[in-house]
Chain A
Amino acid sequence: MAAFHEEHELHKRRFGRNLGLLAVLSAFVAIVFGLTIVKVSEGGKIEAFDHAVRPSLTVPEGGE
């Protein structure tokens, strides 16, 4: 068991892999957050049908 006290090259590689995964996941969270901010601030129709009549969602007569 003594071998586990000194750091094997394998442990360094695993640590590097973990750091890489941390970077990827952090970047993913940042991207989803940034994309959400952009989508919300750009507006567009984010209302959806929820069984209540809302004029903003109705199609005008003769219109598209």
Chain B
Amino acid sequence: MTDTTAVFDQNPEASFGDYVALLKPRVMSLVVFTALAGLVVAPVSVHPMVAFTAILFIAIGGGASGALNMWWDADIDSVMRRTQGRPVPSGRVAPGEALGLGLTLSGFAVVMLWLASNWVAAGLLAFTIFFYAVIYTMWLKRSTPQNIVIGGAAGALPPMIGWAVATGGVSVESVLMFALIFMWTPPHFWALALFMKDDYSNAGVPMLTVTHGRRATRVHILVYTLLLAPLALGIAATSIGGPVYLAASLLLNVAFIRGALRIWRRDESAAEADGYAVEKSFFKLSLYYLFLHFVALMAQSGLAAYGLGGW
């Protein structure tokens, strides 16, 4: 090995995949799905090319906020095992590069969404990026155990953006879709926090399990799950609801509340005895819960086209 190659090896340059990883592709896939759902169930049809472009730039906007999050959180990420391999803490991408990529893509995504659709959708996307990067990442995440609750608003906005792409506005239906994800996020993450004994406390992130204890977390999961059910069922009564959605939502909410009750009844010794089986299955169920609610909404909208859906 020559001196030159030795220098290269000490300063690993990023590959293309590292820049893609900065955009948190897994979060992007959720953004794509929920934004698409918001767009599909909207009562106004959109040209496929416009729909494709809008969804793409909503996803890129979401990814850009992920890059800004990784720039700001590099210090926490390097402490926690789960995130140590991310491009910035591992040294493959410089923090300034992550910041530059995040800001550039944010601007691009908002302007392109504006050109493709309308200013309401673009404004909502800009607000989503601002909320996730500034309100959640820079402010709430390290200062309050309610970080998950309020920060969840950023993840809940994509269906509203999709709806705005088609309709150019905000309505009770799109607000309810927002509320569904918003109320779903806390039980989803707290179930994860119960069994992923991650090193949040070492990183100085106040998680409810650490600040208020695991018993309080179990109570919180139940309360949020009970509040979530009427919201989810309420969507059935709006113009995007119908019998298919109502049936699906009823089944899913019964299962979800049952799971939350089981979590609430258990104590730590019982949970440790079976390796957090109930918490893990509740977490898995929460993923199906959200996914199937939006699938049911899209199915309802698809059936309406054949005169089979809606009330």
Contact = CB atoms under 8 A, between A and B. Distances in A.
**Size category of the binding interface on chain B:** 10 to 19
Contacts of B261: none
Given A8-B5, A10-B8, A35 B116 contact: yes
A38 B13 CA distance: 40
Contact of B49 (A3, A4, A19, A34): A34
Contacts, number: 37
Contacts of B47: 38, 42
B15 A38 contact: no
A20 B8 contact: no
Nearest to B48: A38
B16 interface: yes
B16, B115, B116 — most chain A CB neighbours (10 Å): B16
A31 interface: yes
Given A3-B5, A8-B5, A38 B50 contact: yes
Contacts of B50: 35, 38
B49 A13 contact: no
B269 interface: no
Size bracket of the A interface: 10 to 19
Interface string A16-42: 110111000000000100110110001
A42 B49 CA distance: 11
B53 interface: yes
B121 to A, nearest CB: 14
B303 interface: no
A31 B56 CA distance: 10
A45 interface: no
16 contacts: A2-B2, A3-B2, A4-B4, A14-B13, A16-B15, A16-B16, A17-B14, A17-B15, A19-B16, A20-B16, A31-B53, A34-B49, A34-B53, A35-B49, A35-B116, A38-B47
